[in-house]
Structure 1
Amino acid sequence: MHPVRELARLLLPVACPCGELDVRWCARCAALLAGPPVRVEHGAPRLDRLDGVRPVPVWALTPYTGPVRDVVVHWKDRGRADLDRLVAPSLRRAAAQLGPVLSAALRGAAVAVVPVPSTSAARRARSRDPVSVLARAVADGLHDAGVQARVVPALARRSSGRDQVGLGARARGRNLAGAVRMTRHGTRTLGQRSACILVDDVLTTGATLAAVERALEQDGHDVLGATVLAATPSPAAAPDPVARPPSALGEILVRT
């Protein structure tokens, strides 16, 4: 090992978020994000529209438990921007697997990749917007699959809404009521009607994605689905009968 690098590791030890030393991320944590995306909206009760239309399809790479939780927390809130090189390629691969279905459905049209907005307080605390990293990865993955995709940061959180961390399902819904709005840039860039894919880091109750979906639909746009890194398992949820690997993604756009 180079002497300077060895000294740096003594002063600033490198460790995986799970605790394994001398690696930025260990093979076990990397493997947790390497699998194919599966449907997870069944475990998010706040995605239920209560209007007879099926919830927006949401695809995740892994459950938000154990080491995955450690990775996401360190990546978002503990300054581990180096973990971009773990999470972004993982979501890019997943998006590439979703691409063929979107390509067939869009018939050559473009899709807007819309990151879920963070609060201004969260952005200041983190000095960056981690979800935008994921959105770029999703757009790149769709490009890899031949889909015309562009990142459009079309939405913003109103200042009245607080961060969702620590809130229960009902509190999340109340906190986000009217808290997501279209930006002028979003309205101008999306035009009159665009097909959109949402991107977030973690699916919990679905309240955030539901608020984003409403904001886009009220402006005349179509939300085709959402991709997230991980989803919180629902203890009351039965095993999902439609969760399946990307080789059978034909239902992604069937919501009625």
Structure 2
Amino acid sequence: MRGLREWWRDLTDLVLPAECGGCGRGRTVLCPRCRTALSGAAPCRARPVPEPPGLPVVHAAARYADEVRAALLAHKERGVLALTAPLGVALAGAVRAGLREARWGPGDAGAVRARGPVLLVPVPSAPRAVRTRGHDPARRIALAAAGELRRTGTSARVLAVLRQRHAVADQSELGARQRLRNLAGALAVAPGGDRLLCGGGPVVLVDDLMTTGASLTEAARALRAARAGAKSAVYPSSAGEGREERKAGPRMAGPNEGGGVIREAICAAVVAASPDSFEINRN
């Protein structure tokens, strides 16, 4: 009988998490308190300091601290895949906030449907990191977020078109400027991905975490270059585009941006951002 009890306990440990991914208590994926820390507040605009030039507008679901930090690390580094669903719900909330600010969200839902599904483009992990961890955390959470968006009425799909062009140094010990230099030119859109980007709806870069913003900045650069290349191939003369428009480049249309030259076609969303990134919202 004892052997049967031990076998049953081992089986339930495989099905149910042994502890909360945020605080370590109870037999649950996330306890109510940790779930509230992750998704209980409205997602906010996040801006790292210093803010890298070219960083798209970023919304984050939570601050990267305490229970949220523990949950993200458990998912990423320890492979606690039961956390994918709640992390995806949090990311979906940040995506919705970005779409609303860009005037693509529920207040303008018809525009989203007319353009096509929202395209979630995950920032890729380095191939060696994927091999070590056994999974790509950002892509896995993006798939969960797309499912949550569809469940709640927003057409969405994951478009994993970004690839690393060359190896980069480990970023953990690098400062903000060092990270920008380390990642400069490191990402590119896979062949054929430019057509998929131009043929769909709004593009939202997604990641699990933003600290300095270097990864999202480089990813946005690669997407903009691919979209510009695809459009110039189709419209080589850009007849409707004036010289000043080409010079100024895309800008986000939103309440704080004024009458931008053209609407920025890319925004970004993350599960969490460094606490300092939220200080901008106090002003």
TM range (shorter): 0.7 to 0.9
Q: Which runs of 5+ in 2 are unaligned?
A: 100-104, 229-263
CA contact (8 A) 1:113 1:197 kept: yes
- Cα separation, 1, equivalents of 2:43 and 2:121: 18
Q: SS at 2:196's partner residue?
A: helix
Identify the range of structure 1 (205-214 vs 136-145) with the bigger mean alpha-carbon deviation: 136-145
Matching residue's letter, 2:72: V
* 1:137 and 2:147 are equivalent in the alignment: no
- Aligned partner of 1:116 in structure 2 is 123
Q: 1:202 to 1:240 in 2, by over 3 A?
A: same
Q: 1:143 to 1:160 in 2, by over 3 A?
A: same
Deviation string, structure 1 residues 40-91 (Cα, Å, up to 9, x no partner): 12x3534333xxxxx5221111100112111111100112112113212333
Return the offset for 1:8. Answer: 5.1
- Aligned partner of 1:90 in structure 2 is 90
- Aligned partner of 1:16 in structure 2 is 20
Return the offset for 1:211. Answer: 0.4
Q: Which runs of 5+ in 1 are unaligned?
A: 50-54, 243-256
Matching residue's letter, 2:272: A
Q: 1:8 to 1:62 in 2, by over 3 A?
A: same
- Cα separation, 1, equivalents of 2:95 and 2:223: 21
- Aligned partner of 1:34 in structure 2 is 39
Structure 1 runs (4+) deviating above 6 angstroms are: 9-13
Identify the range of structure 1 (220-229 vs 78-87) with the bigger mean alpha-carbon deviation: 220-229
* 1:58 and 2:100 are equivalent in the alignment: no
Which of these two proteins has the greater Rg computed from alpha carbons?
2
What's the TM-score once normalised by structure 1's chain length? 0.78
Q: Which has the higher helix share?
A: 2
- Cα separation, 2, equivalents of 1:220 and 1:167: 30
Q: 1:22 to 1:189 in 2, by over 3 A?
A: same
Q: 1:241 to 1:184 in 2, by over 3 A?
A: same
Q: SS at 1:184's partner residue?
A: coil
What's the TM-score once normalised by structure 2's chain length? 0.71
Counterpart of 2:165 (choices 158, 171, 185) is 158
- Cα separation, 1, equivalents of 2:93 and 2:276: 25
Counterpart of 2:189 (choices 182, 197, 221) is 182
- Aligned partner of 2:75 in structure 1 is 75
- Aligned partner of 1:252 in structure 2 is none
Identify the range of structure 1 (192-201 vs 68-77) with the bigger mean alpha-carbon deviation: 192-201
* 1:208 and 2:233 are equivalent in the alignment: no
Q: 1:118 to 1:10 in 2, by over 3 A?
A: closer
Return the offset for 1:101. Answer: 4.6
Return the offset for 1:163. Answer: 3.7
CA contact (8 A) 2:38 2:61 kept: yes
CA contact (8 A) 2:84 2:144 kept: no
- Aligned partner of 2:30 in structure 1 is 25
CA contact (8 A) 1:216 1:223 kept: no
- Aligned partner of 1:250 in structure 2 is none
Q: SS at 1:200's partner residue?
A: strand
Return the offset for 1:16. Answer: 2.1
Matching residue's letter, 2:71: V
Return the offset for 1:181. Answer: 0.8
CA contact (8 A) 1:201 1:230 kept: yes
Aligned residues: 234
CA contact (8 A) 2:46 2:280 kept: no
CA contact (8 A) 1:156 1:183 kept: yes
CA contact (8 A) 2:198 2:227 kept: no
* 1:225 and 2:267 are equivalent in the alignment: yes
Counterpart of 1:127 (choices 134, 155, 179) is 134
CA contact (8 A) 1:46 1:173 kept: no
Q: 1:191 to 1:48 in 2, by over 3 A?
A: closer
- Cα separation, 1, equivalents of 2:113 and 2:182: 38
